[in-house]
């Protein structure tokens, strides 16, 4: 593959210098070069949401973003959102609501929901459903996922961090 000069990204708060082909996607680089496996490869076409990350705080589909197109930008992956030692309230709510079956869609659901709650503190159920409508769950866990996001919103509004 044709290699190109290096460039830098900020990933989960740390600056990383990279070399990647012009064709490489952000998802490919995150998973294969940086070992960040939170974002998942689902459709590879921008249609399922499994690969969702934040670019400058906005949820985006990393499978269709050329990595060179986000040079210098701030990327946040699931690993940067929270950790077992301190889950993000959305992650905690998904655990509390047992909002998973196979779990493959969860990266996208959590990243999309957390982006919503960063902008809107008290979204209605309809708003949550609308926001997550582009994130596919083949297991049909949408009811539990919506409940988890509603719980997370309540938790965040109450100032709780768990």
- Would the CA dihedral through 45, 48, 66, 28 be positive or negative? negative
For residue 59, what are the β-bridge partners? Answer: 54
Q: At its nearest, how many Å lie between ligand FES and the CB of residue 158? A: 27
Which x/- pattern, by CB under 6 A, does the window 48-87 give for ligand FES?
Answer: xxxx---------x-x------------------------
- The three-point CA angle 160-119-37 to 5° equals 80
Q: Are 132 and 150 in contact (CB under 8 A)?
A: no
Q: Tell me the window of 35-43, 70-78, 88-96, 151-159 that interacts with ligand FES (CB under 6 A).
A: 35-43
Binding of ligand FES at residue 37 (CB under 6 A)?
A: no
Binding of ligand FES at residue 32 (CB under 6 A)?
A: no
Q: Computed over its alpha carbons, how large is the radius of gyration of the chain?
A: 16
Alpha-carbon distance of 55 to 71, in angstroms, equals: 11
Binding of ligand FES at residue 97 (CB under 6 A)?
A: no
Q: At its nearest, how many Å lie between ligand FES and the CB of residue 111? A: 11
For the chain, report the end-to-end CA distance as a whole number of angstroms.
Answer: 45
Which residues ranging from 141 to 160 are in contact with ligand FES (CB under 6 A)? 141
Q: Which of 104, 118, 127, 129 binds ligand FES (CB under 6 A)?
A: 104
Q: Tell me the window of 7-15, 101-109, 117-125, 152-160 that interacts with ligand FES (CB under 6 A).
A: 101-109
Alpha-carbon distance of 42 to 13, in angstroms, equals: 26
Alpha-carbon distance of 49 to 69, in angstroms, equals: 19
Q: At its nearest, how many Å lie between ligand FES and the CB of residue 99? A: 8
Binding site for ligand FES (CB under 6 A): 41-44, 46-51, 61, 63, 100-105, 137-139, 141
């Amino acid at each position: 593959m044709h290699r190109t000069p290096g460039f830098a990204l900020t990933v989960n708060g740390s600056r990383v210098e990279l070399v990647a082909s012009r064709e490489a996607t952000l998802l490919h680089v995150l998973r294969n070069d940086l070992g960040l496996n939170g974002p998942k490869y689902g459709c590879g076409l921008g249609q399922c949401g499994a690969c969702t990350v934040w670019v400058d705080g906005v949820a985006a589909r990393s499978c269709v973003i050329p990595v060179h197109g986000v040079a210098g930008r701030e990327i946040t992956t699931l690993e940067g959102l929270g950790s077992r030692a301190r889950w993000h309230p959305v992650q905690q709510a998904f655990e509390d609501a047992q909002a998973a079956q196979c779990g493959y869609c969860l990266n996208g659901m959590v990243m999309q929901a957390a982006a919503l709650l960063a902008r809107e503190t008290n979204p209605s159920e309809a708003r949550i459903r609308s926001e997550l409508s582009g994130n596919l769950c083949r297991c049909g866990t949408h009811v539990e996922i919506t409940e988890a996001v509603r719980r997370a919103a309540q938790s965040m509004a109450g100032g709780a961090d768990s």
